[in-house]
Amino acid sequence: MQSLLLDFLNVTESAAIAALPWIGSGDKIAADGAATNVMRDTFNQMNMNGTVVIGEGEIDEAPMLFIGEKLGLGNGPEVDIAVDPIEGTTPTVNGQRNAITVIAAAPKGTLLHAPDMYMEKLVVGPKARGKVNIELPLLDNMKAVAQANGKKMKELNIYIQDRPRHQEYIETIRAAGAKVHLFHDGDVIYATATCMENADVDMFIGIGGAPEGVLGAVAVKCLGGEMQARLKPRNDEEIERCLQMGLPETKLVLNHQQLISSDDCVFTATGVTDNLLLNGIRTEHRNHITQSILINGKERKLRYIESRHTIHSKV
């Protein structure tokens, strides 16, 4: 995996630049298509034998990278890939905050292989690792996190996606005196931020996409935090898809090791628009300037990388 670090960074940078013309455009399909096509093309220049194990679904409905898709030149290491060409397509095309291009990768057989479906997630930073249990009441976990982080309940900052399905969580948090921070998009961003002390995110909870859950799980593992999850199938078809992928108990709690079982994992994200982690793309003097994070689980090292990409004139 070490030999592929800069290649993975190139994938997210290239996809972010491809999305740039679509910021504020209102055209989600075009934005997704531009980022996905460039991401696929860039992956396919890499010396690896990659497989998308969790992404946009099992059927090849272009332009999405789909579950089971093979990526790379077919030589080099065998790699599991989780991908979201644009995490935050809606804010991208609305010219809003919280859009990134993001991938996670690990050796073959070490990332969760699951359908594109809903997943319940609980994420905490390094100080609270080992102190929470997704099967316990939320209030119990809040008390454990407050104690681990050396805070009073009223000082606790809990981030949750602004969706009607989370109303019970929101009421519980506020009734306990803790602070609710609602966001509309950016699941992976806020899961990762639990492990960054300067972000002051004590806990991330909620029900969202399984691909975003696995992406976040890799970032959190690399940074020493903890994620627990539970798949939430909505119908018999999703249950059947879980069975076909070797997940016989679809409501089984997934610990962090089941989401990502190797320390030799990589997470990289590039800002499309400004967000809690990264600046969005800027254009200065015929250069696109990108800001990215590259996290290596083996080294437990977080790198912030700013790159200048020369804009080539079209003939």
Judged on CB neighbours under 10 Å (0-12, 13-18, 19+), 127 is middle
Give the confidence band of 152 by pLDDT, cuts at 50, 70, 90: very high
pLDDT at 49 over 60: yes
Asked whether residue 236 is marked as a ligand-binding residue, the answer is no
On the question of pLDDT at 130 being above 70, the answer is yes
Q: Is residue 140 part of an annotated ligand binding site?
A: no
206 marked among binding-site residues: no
Tell me: is residue 61 an annotated ligand-binding position.
no
Residue 186 counted as an annotated binding residue: yes
| pLDDT mean over 298-314 | 88
Handedness of CA 296, 299, 302, 307 (dihedral sign): negative
Q: Is the pLDDT of residue 312 over 90?
A: no
CB-based contacts of 64-70 (< 8 A; 24+ apart in sequence)? 64/32, 64/36, 65/36, 65/39, 65/40, 67/113, 67/115, 67/116
Burial level of 25, CB count in 10 A (0-12/13-18/19+)? middle
Residue 187 marked as a ligand binder: yes
Rounded Cα distance between 281 and 155, Å, is: 33
Q: What is the pLDDT of residue 315?
A: 46
Average pLDDT of the segment spanning 228-243: 90
pLDDT average, residue stretch 243-259: 85
pLDDT at 314 over 90: no
DSSP single-letter state for residue 311 = P
CB distance 186 to 201 below 8 Å: no
Find out whether 89 is annotated in a ligand binding site: yes
pLDDT of 255 above 60? yes
Token pair for 237: 């078809």
pLDDT tens column, 52-66:
998 765 544 546 788
Mean pLDDT, the chain, integer: 93
Q: Is 101 annotated as a binding residue?
A: no
Q: For residue 162, say whether it is annotated as part of any ligand binding site.
A: no
Terminal C-alpha separation, the chain: 38
Q: Which of 150-164, 197-211, 229-243 has the lowest mean pLDDT?
A: 229-243
Strands (E) across the chain are located at 49-54, 70-71, 78-87, 99-107, 118-124, 157-161, 179-183, 203-209, 226-231, 253-254, 266-273, 282-284, 287-296, 301-310
Residue 169 marked as a ligand binder: no
91 in a known ligand binding site: no
Annotated binding residue 58: no
Mean pLDDT to the nearest integer, 104-116: 93
Q: Tokens 């309940």 identify what position?
A: 153
What pLDDT does residue 301 have? 87
pLDDT computed for residue 243 by the predictor: 87
- Asked if residue 65 lies in contact with residue 36, where contact means CB atoms within 8 angstroms, the answer is yes
Q: CA separation (Å) from 259 to 98, 193, 200, 236, 304?
A: 24, 18, 25, 23, 25
Residue 309: φ, ψ to 5°: -115, 115
Asked if residue 209 belongs to a known ligand binding site, the reply is: yes
pLDDT of 264 higher than 80? yes
211's tokens: 């691909």
**Residue 202 marked as a ligand binder:** no
Which pTM does this prediction carry? 0.95
155 assigned ligand-binding residue = no
